[in-house]
Structure 1
Amino acid sequence: MPDVFADLVGQPEAVDTLRRAALAAAETVRAAAALRDGGTAEATPAGGDPSAGGDPAGGGDPALGAGSAMTHAWIFTGPPGSGRSVAARAFAAALQCLRGTGCGECAGCHTTLTGTNADVRFVVPEGLSIGVSEMRALVLRAASTPTGGRWQVLVIEDADRLTEAAGNALLKAIEEPPPRTVFLLCTPSTHPDDISVTIRSRCRLVALVQPPAEAVAAVLRDRDGIAPDVAAWAAAASQGHVGRARRLARDPDARKRREAVLAVPRRLTSVGACFDAASTLIEAAEAEAAAAVAEADTTERSALETALGAGGTGRGAAGAIRGAAGQLKDLERRQKSRATRAQRDALDRALVDLAGFYRDVLTVAMRAPVTPVHTDVATMTASAAGKWTAESTLRRLEAVLSCRTAIETNVKPRIAVEAMMLALWRG
């Protein structure tokens, strides 16, 4: 039987928590409907569990109070690829499920998973941040009465990109939640750099873990029909990231980009080679990002020009196009921001692969009984472990992680990558 949580790989504890919350939410809806129809049902959710904690803010629907398995604000955290947005989307579908179980078959589940449910809004920032004006508009819309009689759900897939002002606007809504409105936030962690302490204190936390490689391989093998050996390799190489594992297994270009990244340590033979390697890595990320956003950019611009009267021959058509310059400029600004985000995401994937290589070298040098990430470059890993000391390998690994941190804090990617390459060469 289909299930909205089927794509959430290797997270049994999180799935159990969300199932109980969905059942409690369904009972809240049922009890409210009974009272509205003149019944006497108590508006206390089923599945209540005192150990699950109550509503941190104490607002919103009175049925979502202390001892309830359900509350109005949630934070999903976990490492990249753990399924933060998958969990939030699945939970949103379970809340809209007409059977209250997240069956995956009813109209509520189907429309939510496909993004067409009128009561569920997904915030997937294309740029580097989520602004206050966008957040205020979303909060205002989320405060309306659910058209389907269940819940208004606002899913913010990258809540760590909220600006300070946008975070404050969201905080006010979470502190004084409208009845039947649920906020689902996804962040890498609960560190203040990712989500404000005050927002965190008013939300229930669902901590996801990195799925084991065996679970990822099983999904690729059983659901996607990928050969067992390829699935096992891709699962290990992706370091538990289901989406990336699927790309590596299916996309030859993705495999070539990974191979180019893993060849970097061999290329660092001089200062000049370091700068060449940095340029190659940056240009590869730019090319990957450009390919990823090109189709969307073209479609958006064509749709906007058509809406503004492009190609029209009637009276005023030329004037309408001239007057649309501001809207076209705004579209170009948003597309540029999206391209920058895509470039940084592509570069980060490359850095994760590079960090995995140095991690493997360190584990070989220390003879640690752990499974390697990059099984297909075992010879190069063993050679590096024989030449480098464990201390120098650890410094190299730290250089890669420091580069990721620098880029996250808006250091120019080229500067950060060049500094990293020099540190890798020096050891």
Structure 2
Amino acid sequence: MSVEVQDLPLHVQRDQFDPPAGINALRDKPGLERVTDSLGRAAWLVTRYEEAREVLGDATRFSNSRVPSVEMPGVDPDEARAGQLLALDPPEHTRLRRLLTGEFTVKRIRRLQPRIAEIVTEALDAMEAAGPPSDLVHDFALPVPSLVICELLGVPYADRDEFQTRAGKQIDLTLPIEERGRVFTEARAYMGELVDRARAEPGDDLLGMLVREHGDDVTRSELVGIASLLLIAGHETTANMLALSTLVLLRHPEQAALVRDDPDAVAPAVEELMRFLSIVHAAVPRVAIVDTEVGGQAIADGDLVLVQLAAADRDRALADDPDRLDVGRAAAPHVAFGHGVHHCLGAPLARMEMATAFPALLQRFPTLATTTEIARADFREGTFIYGMRSLPLTW
């Protein structure tokens, strides 16, 4: 069900692929804007590229862990924060992230490429066998990263309907706090069972590795938090990028042809699609922990700060003609994966999945096309991660 865009906080609004005009106007004004976040809290909104990198890259002035906890009925705030890397600052964040870094290096992820290619091929085979039309979200964009993260983490793929439904609700900013608390509790209970199973009999997956190699260094609650975050981030982000990017490419057929036919064009195309779409509207909020200044705006100790990633990635300081998709451009590093100590841990995996999936999809179905006009209801509005609810295609 579509929500009214104007009823959403400004920093999570979209106009199909673009930030809303109001956000773009703020980026061109001096200073920062005072806005209200999805919980009704006052915050400073950062919309420019250099200032986004400044805030995200400075954990000595801007804290993740001091952001006030969201009070959800029946949820212990300390338990909810345990293992949640995005809610922690160094050195606690550093301690836990270091346990995972080796599993997400570019070199390690390259070893997964053959299996990722198999998963992509299997999904395409199933689409072709079923014949058109096909909902790309249901048949390709969601299954591919879900199976990849399940195998990597050690989550039964048979449970996908349940955890995908819960994940969708956990990132839905329009749901009442009571329901979000209930879903959060269910998700942690589910992951707690998998953690207990791994602690009793560690497998060859990521959960098993954490238990075998770091069992004395990490608590059960931290394991549950780490695994829960990886499961949601590991499929929600890539799934929405696969669907939204496919629609963008279909609207730019000459650029889709480059991705389909030129292997050297794929990696730059992934970066440009990430920059152009920036599906995570805004970074996790920060709290200023000193009196400081950003963009000429005085910010007091204790003030909440929001960094609008989609706006920053459309800044002329980052790319010429930034509102134009150009898969061949060589722009400066985007902030769609964040920046600083909280730069997305799974970025190498997401890049590998996209670089494998896009050319394979376009090569298998060179006449791919939408079956109907894409309506507003097909876009996931009001969620922390932007994307598509459905994408009906034919070939």
TM-score w.r.t. the length of structure 2 is 0.30
Q: Which has the higher helix share?
A: 1
TM-score w.r.t. the length of structure 1 is 0.28
Q: Greater relative contact order: 1 or 2 (C-alpha under 8 angstroms, separation 6 or more)?
A: 2
